[in-house]
Amino acid sequence: MSASTLPPRASLEFLRKLAKDRLADLRTANPRAQLAAALVAVAQEHGFSSWRALKAEIDSRHATSASRFFDAIAKGDAGAVRALLREEPSLIRARHSRHDASALHHASCDLETARVLLDAGADPNDTADDAHIGVIGWATMTPPRGEIAMDVVSLLVARGARHHIFSAIAAGDLDVVRGLIEQHPDALDQRLSSRYHGQTPVHYAIARTRPDILDLLIEMGADVDAPDGNGQTALEFALLRGDADAAGRLRAAGARPPRKASGEARPAASDLAESIQSATLVVGARDVAATLAWYASIGFTETARYPTDGIGVFWGRMTFGVAELTFDVREPDAPRGVSLLFTTCRVRELHEFLKARQLQAADVEFVKTLHEPEHGGLEFSIRDPNGFTLRFLQQ
């Protein structure tokens, strides 16, 4: 049926209220009338055969509006964000499929856009993203453009955002870290999600290369032997990263030495080499979508991208004959950053083999230990003597 009688900015909440009012009218004629009948009546009055069909139309319109809304946020177009909110105020509650994050999460690199969203009622303490690091965590721990926008962080705090131990460490604010622990000593026992390997504050301070914060955590009683989600103590984590300074501080604090490798037979390097299925260059790109479009224009074929909709693409793959290139906005020192990605069917064994080598000989620096990347699978990465990154992925 035609949807021509439905207003351009129809509100499902308003139509539900209308149905409840209609139910009262229906019950004057039939005291046993149910809400379902009123919903159908409202739907039919607007040109739809059922409430489900009407709802599907409104959801479709909302999805289109939400897409424009998040695209405007990604571009830092505060004027467009304000205009869309004026047309459809309910967009302030929209969440993106990528990490189930709110608009304010995604605006954590642009001051004016963040201000518009906060003025419209966005919650600065929204922690419903899938990693539960909250808006303040997105602004400090994973800033979309690589560098923390401290003006945005200051605005969030001024509007009531509360730091947690990891966002305070990421922001590098020793006073906030100290104050949090003094008020909530159990902050020292908090853990990040599996995306961050279940790291403790001590692990995270090492990952951020903040020896001053590491010293503060030790001073305030952090458990230096608590393992992360990969079963690694902070000392083992520091040694795998080749961080001799952090390792020395942990040893001075009484950290236990890493456990020795078991005497079980380990696969030889030649056996593990047979597990490698492909090798691909991963090239840093500031705008992955634009890069994919350019390569397509000269004859390359796009074979994958992530995410496939909504907020800007940050990973994509192109082929040209047998050649393959991957582009990643998260590659270090983009756009000059380049790494080599190996796909394997034995990533855990490769990880253990190289981990044992690093703990014994200290010549295999780990960039990231075993983890689940956003696009799926298991991955870890190491750095060669020239500073070149080698990534190993099991899809």
Among residues 103, 130, 162, the one where a domain terminates is 162
Together in a domain, 175 and 209:
yes
Is 223 inside a domain boundary? yes
Q: Are 174 and 228 contained in the same domain?
A: yes
Q: Does one domain contain both 118 and 183?
A: no
Domain boundary among 138, 162, 186: 162
Residue 315 domain flag = yes
Is residue 120 located within the same domain as residue 66? yes
Question: Residue 196 maps to which CATH number?
Answer: 1.25.40.20
> Do the domain assignments include residue 36?
no
Percent helix, strand, coil in the chain, to 5, is: 45, 15, 40
Determine the average pLDDT of the residues in 1-28.
76
The answer to whether residue 9 scores a pLDDT higher than 70 is no
Concatenated DSSP letters of 118-153: HHTT--TT---STT--HHHHHHHTS-TTSS--HHHH
- Residue 187 is given by DSSP the state G
Task: Let me know if residue 17 belongs to a domain.
Answer: no
Q: Is residue 348 part of a domain?
A: yes
What pLDDT, on the 0 to 100 scale, is given for residue 43?
87
Contacts of residue 73, defined as CB under 8 A and 6 or more positions apart, other chains included, come to 81, 103, 106, 107, 110, 113, 117, 311
What digits encode the pLDDT tens for the residues 137-173? 999 998 766 689 999 999 999 999 999 999 999 999 9
Q: What is the pLDDT of residue 107?
A: 93
Task: In whole angstroms, give the CA distance from residue 35 to residue 52.
Answer: 14
Band (2; pLDDT cuts 50, 70, 90): very low
pLDDT of residue 262: 55
Asked whether the beta carbons of 170 and 141 are under 8 A apart, the reply is yes
Helix (H) or strand (E) holding 392: strand 389-394
Rounded to the nearest integer, the mean pLDDT of the chain is 88
CA atoms within 13 A on the CB side of 358: 26
Assess whether 131 and 248 both reside in one domain: no
pLDDT digits (tens, 9 = 90+) for 229-287: 888 999 999 999 999 999 999 999 999 998 765 545 567 777 888 889 988 999 988 88
Domain that holds residue 79: 61-162
Start-to-end C-alpha separation, the chain:
45
344 forms beta bridges with 276
Among 181-190, 271-280, 324-333, 374-383, which is the least confidently predicted range?
324-333
- pLDDT exceeds cutoff 60 at 4: no
CATH of the domain at 280: 3.10.180.10
Domain boundary among 198, 223, 252: 252
Provide the domain count of the chain.
Answer: 3
- The whole-number pLDDT of residue 312 equals 67
C-alpha 310/C-alpha 102 separation (Å) is: 12
Q: Are 47 and 57 in contact (CB under 8 A)?
A: no
